[in-house]
């Protein structure tokens, strides 16, 4: 419960650096909050990677009274139900799949992510490396408007949009997995050859 956004960001940054030491080109990929971390790091230093892939990535401020009260409530409630944080339980369309997500979210940790959204949105125009933005049209955790905001904000001349028609939030465990694999592999091959 003591982990904060800067801890996650540091781990992703170190991971990119370790990969860069072992290969000529790195493609950074993230799902959901992982995509937010990728956008943050790559928009601060676009030359760190050959390209970026984000899937169902939050960048927009959440709405509602709980969001407004969250900075105060985090001092009283160390954990909140995932639904109160706006996260749908097992957000997968495909029957029999389980994302194994927590039922409760550490309030201070979650709020540390949400507080970064305005800063990350502000730096998105710096992102000029190739990017693939995939999003589920029926995402119950991260509305597709987030991906539309990313697509509008980045200034890369190489932007690939991939709407996912059959999956919910955890698209990498859902009906569109093969489509994601195919398109991400093609994107990575093309970007790596071009870099």
Is residue 175 in a domain? yes
Residue 87 located in a structural domain: no
Quote the pLDDT of residue 187: 98
Q: Would you tell me how many other CB atoms lie within 10 Å of the CB of residue 56?
A: 29
Range of the domain at 40: 5-61+117-194
Rg (CA), the chain: 17
* In a domain? residue 153: yes
In a domain, 99, yes or no: no
- 46 is a domain residue: yes
Q: For residue 73, is it within any domain?
A: no
What does pTM read for this prediction?
A: 0.93
CA distance 27 to 191: 8
Count of beta carbons in the 10 Å neighbourhood of residue 64: 10
Report the number of distinct structural domains present in the chain. Answer: 1
52 within domain boundaries: yes
Dist. CA 147–CA 125, nearest whole Å: 14
Residue 76 forms part of a structural domain: no
Instruction: Say how many C-beta atoms besides its own lie within 10 A of residue 185's C-beta.
Output: 10
Assign residue 141 the CATH number of its domain: 3.40.50.1820
pLDDT tens per residue across all 195 residues of the chain:
689 999 999 999 999 999 999 999 999 999 999 999 999 999 999 889 999 999 999 999 888 766 677 677 778 888 887 877 778 888 999 999 988 888 888 888 888 999 999 999 999 999 999 999 999 999 999 999 999 999 999 999 999 999 999 999 999 999 999 999 999 999 999 998 886
Q: Check residue 79 and give its pLDDT.
A: 84
Q: For residue 75, give every residue at least 6 positions away whose Cβ sits within 8 Å of its Cβ, in sequence order, or none.
A: none
């Amino acid at each position: 419960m003591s982990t904060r956004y800067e801890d996650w960001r540091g781990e992703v940054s170190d991971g990119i650096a370790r990969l860069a030491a072992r290969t000529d080109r790195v493609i950074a990929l993230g799902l959901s909050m992982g995509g937010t971390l990728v956008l943050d790091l790559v928009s601060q230093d676009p030359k760190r990677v050959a390209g970026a892939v984000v899937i169902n990535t939050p960048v927009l401020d959440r709405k509602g009274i709980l969001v407004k009260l969250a900075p105060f409530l985090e001092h009283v409630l160390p954990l909140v139900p995932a639904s109160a944080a706006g996260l749908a339980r097992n957000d997968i369309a495909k029957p029999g799949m389980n994302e194994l997500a927590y039922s409760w979210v550490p309030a201070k940790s979650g709020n540390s992510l949400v507080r970064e959204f305005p800063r990350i949105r502000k730096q998105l125009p710096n992102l000029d490396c190739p990017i693939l933005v995939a999003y589920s049209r029926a995402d119950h955790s991260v509305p597709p408007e987030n991906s539309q905001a990313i697509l509008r904000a980045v200034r890369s001349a190489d932007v690939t949009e991939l709407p996912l028609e059959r999956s919910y939030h955890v698209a990498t465990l859902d009906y569109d997995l093969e489509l994601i694999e195919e398109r991400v592999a093609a994107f990575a091959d093309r970007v790596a050859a071009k870099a």
